[in-house]
Structure 1
Amino acid sequence: MRVRCSQGIQVQEYHGNFCKRIPTDIDLAAIDCDKTLMVTLKHDDKLQDGSECAFQCALLYTTVYGQRRIRVTNLSLPCTNNLSNLFRLADLDSQFVCFLKQAASEIPSNPPLVIQDQVTNFCINILLSYRKFCATVSSSGQLILPEALKLLPLYTLALIKSTGLKPDGRIDDRSFWINYVSSVSTPLAIPLVHPRMFAIHDLDSQEAIGSHVPPALPLSSESVHDNGVYLLENGQDVSIYIGNSVNPDILQKLFGVSSVAEIPTQYVLEQYDNPLSKKLNDVVNEIRRQRCSFLRLKLCKKGDPSGMLFFSYLVEDKVPAGACKYRSRFKARKVGVLLDTCFWDQQLTLIYLLKASWPLCNVRIPMPAPVRTALPLGG
């Protein structure tokens, strides 16, 4: 596969799972519509405002029937010297995939803490550039974020706390994470670090969004109660967490047992003759339909390793040790620095340090539900 660009832009680097024998081409053993490759472009000449930049991706491949074919994808985009247009039309999902793949490519050669700083600085520089060059109002106590990238700080924090960037993570988990991220598709990138969590025990009282899927909960331990049953999906697995004080009637409806101890660890989801069980099966089936592969089902209980694994996905929790670590690194900055993000009552709370000598400003802004856009490769 080769990517070509018009004058003024050139390919700097490829990111993904491939073999590179010559500088201009990459070799792939196989590829499908669920895989994504990232190409870093270098701007090496002056571009005229309003002119067009052209890009071409050519893939020479052999079909399963032994036919040799070439698939060519062309793209032409207008150039602009207006930064406001760039921020207004920014694609959050694609932007975050770049963060994710760049972080994965740096893991073999840099410590996790160094990569955490790099990812954080990427986010900081984007927000600082918008505040400096695009914002019309810039008071010291006001947090200003581009509309298209409002959730970027939250996803950046989730990436910092992800499996691949944990300093104390297992090497096997990190190796798998690197390999998976290198080719992960755009729709699966955000769920990998910021999963969706739903309350299952009160599905009867919830209104589904779209088809069968209820509203998502904040990824915080404050959303998880001991008398509830919760489902969490990250694009790879579906984890069902069961509290110790769940109503026996709910357990009977969902799992066919009267106590948590009776539920086997190797659990196979069944549908019982009641509305709650039917809705749970509908939710799981709909989530599996939305994803590229058949998601595995895991059962998590409080007090055992599976329960600890479930809570490790709650990236919006404030970890005292981690928070101090992040805060000490950021205080040295003299420009706007993102310290922490968390959800409270459907709002995104951002602690924003404008200068090292200025007081912290805790600002709340309403956050709409994010819109997911699937960008498949191929067809």
Structure 2
Amino acid sequence: LYIVPQEFLFDPVSKTYGDPSRRPEVRFGTVEYTATSDYMARPPQPAMYLFLLDVSHNAVQTGQFTVNFRFSYLLKKCLGYLQSFCEILFENLSSLPGDARTKIGFLTYDSRIHFYDLSDRHNGTFRIMIVPDLENIESKLDEVLPVPDGIMVNLSECRTIIESFLDQLPKVYQNNHETDSALGTSLLIAEKLLHQTGGRITVFQTRLPNINPGALNEQTGKEPTVLTPTSDFYKKLSLDYASQQIACDLFLLNSHYIDLTTLSCISKYSGGEVKYYPNFHATHSPDQVERFENDLRRYLQRKIGFEAVMRLRSPPALSIQTFYGNGFVRSVDLLVLPNINPDAAFGMQVAIEDSLAQYKSVTFQVALLYTSSKGERRIRVHTLSLPVSAALKDICSNADQEAMVALIAKMAADRSTTSSIQEAREGMTNVACDVIKATMSNDSSNRTGSLYVPHAIRLLPLYMLSMIKSTAFRAGSSIKADERAYYIDLCKTLPTKYLMKIFYPDLYPIHTIEDQSRIVQDGEDELYIPARAHLSFQYIDAHGAYILDTNEYIYIYIGRAISDHFVQSV
């Protein structure tokens, strides 16, 4: 039975009246529309990808001796991350989201800035242009900037030159001894290159930037314990990026302190993201190399939207208090997102401003207006209707505890940066205590005063304890400042299902995988999906083997009494 306004009886596609269940917006919680020109401030721009690559000596030190057969040359001293980057981008040039208008460009930097003219004006070869003098560079950016048409080139038209560039780039800097890093200048130049169209900037940084503008101080002695930015340069630049529809993503591959708290500001306000690979080295940390390469492949291949804005609508009795996630809050209910991707997540804290007695249900609607990589302006609408109840027992019995954990994590992350880690920890403890206290006081059947929590939120105290013990919120000085800052950033930006794995990882027994698993058909193959085990040592069998999925890493635990047959067969 559909009880909908009369307007929904009319089908605008067939231009007839009839069954409203045929309309997608009635049948589905998520629908997408093609936007008209009324929703365009300008024609859709092409997909623009600009890569900023740190090639200082610190980057060279992440390398190794290796023979590379893909590009058919011997790398005697390989730029570890740069070699991986060039190979993976080479493989995925055809997978970059976009159309025939897609453009791509590269800047490298150490104590100087290196431009690359990849246009077809030089007989099929690329040309390197270097800016050696960066003193007072902010006042003369227009003078040093080459012709943008040669820097940002059409991917399909200049494909051969781009492939040649990626083939040769690691060799160019394999003996580089420049130790400085002019990240700030590179970001300013990148803004000049993209300010007319917007787009995506991807930064690969291996050390603390130490050349103005944007220079950060080396830490002597102990690392900082306060998670506040030490400079406002990156925040201000990020806000400028947002106003010009530019997003900036960071890949940090450092071996020493890099001040992630400050650098991440460039992504926070521009709708970008941060990836962190501590102690990255091609031979000493193969696990980080594998993470980096897998993340980079996903990053290059996934869908992307440009020039996006997101608005949340709710009944008048409710008001939006706070947005959580990377983006610029233009107004109370409007979030500016220069880039949007499937791996981004956002949280909204909503307050009840007036009585809900007149409502049987309340409806929330999120509308995302964006430009697809194919140059189409679209509107994606998510609609959620929730029943209203004055009984706390009903609310607790139907609560989504994982959604609660995700929102509490975002609130705690904010408190960690504006106040202290200790206050964030106390807040999580108070949440668990308040929930238990409220449910007990509202349960009239509980005469004995025993501890009782509704089934839907029974794991909330456990999750709060897990959060308190997590890398983001753990007390003490054993957690490095960059690592803590990274996980706090994940609390704000990760989708709920991935964030839950960080706080409460998935544990799977694999020694009983053929006996006690759910079989799922994957094409012609059968996959055995084992049941999750509780994260308690009492459920660990000394004769067993387990996989622990923490989202960032996967660990294999082998029991001390595991059979030789299992070890050899697996």
TM-score after normalising by structure 1: 0.60
Confirm or deny: 8 A CA contact 1:198 1:230 kept in the other structure: yes
Q: Aligned-pair distance for 1:47?
A: 2.0
- Structure 1 position 229 matched with structure 2 position 545: yes
Instruction: Specify the alignment match of 1:271 in structure 2.
Output: none
Q: Aligned-pair distance for 1:50?
A: 4.2
- Structure 1 position 207 matched with structure 2 position 516: yes
CA distance in 1, matches of 2:371, 2:529: 39
- Structure 1 position 15 matched with structure 2 position 324: yes
Kindly provide the CA deviation profile for residues 195-238 of structure 1, in whole angstroms up to 9, marking residues without a partner as x: 1223334445x411454122333323454566543211123322
Q: Which amino acid aligns with 1:186?
A: T
Instruction: Specify the alignment match of 1:87 in structure 2.
Output: 396
Instruction: Specify the alignment match of 1:197 in structure 2.
Output: 507
Q: Secondary structure at the match of 1:105?
A: helix
Q: Aligned-pair distance for 1:151?
A: 1.3
Q: Aligned-pair distance for 1:245?
A: 5.6
Q: Secondary structure at the match of 2:472?
A: helix
**In 2 relative to 1, CA 253–120 (structure 1 residues): closer, same or farther, beyond 3 Å?**
same
Q: Which amino acid aligns with 1:113?
A: Q
Instruction: Specify the alignment match of 1:347 in structure 2.
Output: none
CA distance in 2, matches of 1:224, 1:74: 43
- Structure 1 position 158 matched with structure 2 position 474: no
- Structure 1 position 102 matched with structure 2 position 411: yes
Instruction: Specify the alignment match of 1:112 in structure 2.
Output: 421
CA distance in 1, matches of 2:486, 2:499: 15
Q: Secondary structure at the match of 1:163?
A: coil
CA distance in 1, matches of 2:494, 2:554: 18
Q: Aligned-pair distance for 1:38?
A: 0.8
CA distance in 2, matches of 1:173, 1:237: 14
Q: Which amino acid aligns with 1:197?
A: L
Instruction: Specify the alignment match of 1:37 in structure 2.
Output: 346
Q: Which amino acid aligns with 2:464?
A: T
Q: Which amino acid aligns with 1:143?
A: L
CA distance in 2, matches of 1:197, 1:54: 37
CA distance in 1, matches of 2:397, 2:473: 30
What is the CA RMSD across the aligned residues, in angstroms?
Answer: 2.4
Residue number among 557, 562, 566 corresponding to 1:241 in the alignment? 557
CA distance in 2, matches of 1:83, 1:32: 37
The number of equivalent residue pairs is 252
**In 2 relative to 1, CA 232–7 (structure 1 residues): closer, same or farther, beyond 3 Å?**
same
Task: Provide structure 1 residue ranges, at least 5 long, that are not aligned to the other structure.
Answer: 255-379
**In 2 relative to 1, CA 209–171 (structure 1 residues): closer, same or farther, beyond 3 Å?**
farther
**In 2 relative to 1, CA 244–149 (structure 1 residues): closer, same or farther, beyond 3 Å?**
closer
Q: Which amino acid aligns with 1:7?
A: P
CA distance in 1, matches of 2:550, 2:537: 17
Q: Which amino acid aligns with 1:66?
A: G
**In 2 relative to 1, CA 75–220 (structure 1 residues): closer, same or farther, beyond 3 Å?**
closer
Instruction: Specify the alignment match of 1:317 in structure 2.
Output: none
Residue number among 480, 486, 494 corresponding to 1:170 in the alignment? 480
Confirm or deny: 8 A CA contact 1:135 1:144 kept in the other structure: no
- Structure 1 position 217 matched with structure 2 position 525: no
Instruction: Specify the alignment match of 1:251 in structure 2.
Output: 567
Q: Aligned-pair distance for 1:128?
A: 1.2
CA distance in 1, matches of 2:531, 2:361: 42
Q: Which amino acid aligns with 2:501?
A: P
Instruction: Specify the alignment match of 1:144 in structure 2.
Output: 452
CA distance in 1, matches of 2:382, 2:543: 53
Q: Secondary structure at the match of 2:508?
A: strand
**In 2 relative to 1, CA 187–227 (structure 1 residues): closer, same or farther, beyond 3 Å?**
same
Residue number among 186, 205, 215 corresponding to 2:496 in the alignment? 186
CA distance in 2, matches of 1:111, 1:126: 23
**In 2 relative to 1, CA 246–84 (structure 1 residues): closer, same or farther, beyond 3 Å?**
closer
Q: Aligned-pair distance for 1:58?
A: 2.0
Q: Which amino acid aligns with 2:409?
A: L
Q: Secondary structure at the match of 2:418?
A: coil
CA distance in 1, matches of 2:319, 2:367: 15
Q: Which amino acid aligns with 1:26?
A: L
Q: Secondary structure at the match of 2:340?
A: coil
Q: Aligned-pair distance for 1:77?
A: 3.3
Confirm or deny: 8 A CA contact 1:191 1:234 kept in the other structure: yes
Q: Which amino acid aligns with 2:467?
A: L
Q: Which amino acid aligns with 1:157?
A: L
Kindly provide the CA deviation profile for residues 269-322 of structure 1, in whole angstroms up to 9, marking residues without a partner as x: xxxxxxxxxxxxxxxxxxxxxxxxxxxxxxxxxxxxxxxxxxxxxxxxxxxxxx
Instruction: Specify the alignment match of 2:306 in structure 1.
Output: none
Instruction: Specify the alignment match of 2:262 in structure 1.
Output: none
Q: Aligned-pair distance for 1:40?
A: 0.7
Confirm or deny: 8 A CA contact 2:369 2:380 kept in the other structure: yes
Identify which range, 234-243 or 172-181, moves more after superposition. Answer: 234-243
What are the equivalent positions in structure 2 for 1:227-306 lying under 5 Å apart?
A: 228-243=544-559, 246-254=562-570
Q: Aligned-pair distance for 1:23?
A: 3.8
Q: Which amino acid aligns with 2:419?
A: N
Confirm or deny: 8 A CA contact 1:3 1:56 kept in the other structure: yes
Kindly provide the CA deviation profile for residues 165-223 of structure 1, in whole angstroms up to 9, marking residues without a partner as x: 1123222221221222212212223222111223334445x411454122333323454
Q: Which has the higher contact order (CA 8 A, sep 6+)?
A: 1
CA distance in 1, matches of 2:519, 2:465: 28
Instruction: Specify the alignment match of 1:359 in structure 2.
Output: none
Instruction: Specify the alignment match of 1:56 in structure 2.
Output: 365
Confirm or deny: 8 A CA contact 1:83 1:134 kept in the other structure: no
CA distance in 2, matches of 1:49, 1:235: 43
Confirm or deny: 8 A CA contact 2:542 2:560 kept in the other structure: yes
How many percent identity over aligned positions?
A: 27
Confirm or deny: 8 A CA contact 1:197 1:218 kept in the other structure: yes
**In 2 relative to 1, CA 147–219 (structure 1 residues): closer, same or farther, beyond 3 Å?**
closer
**In 2 relative to 1, CA 135–98 (structure 1 residues): closer, same or farther, beyond 3 Å?**
farther
Q: Secondary structure at the match of 2:338?
A: coil
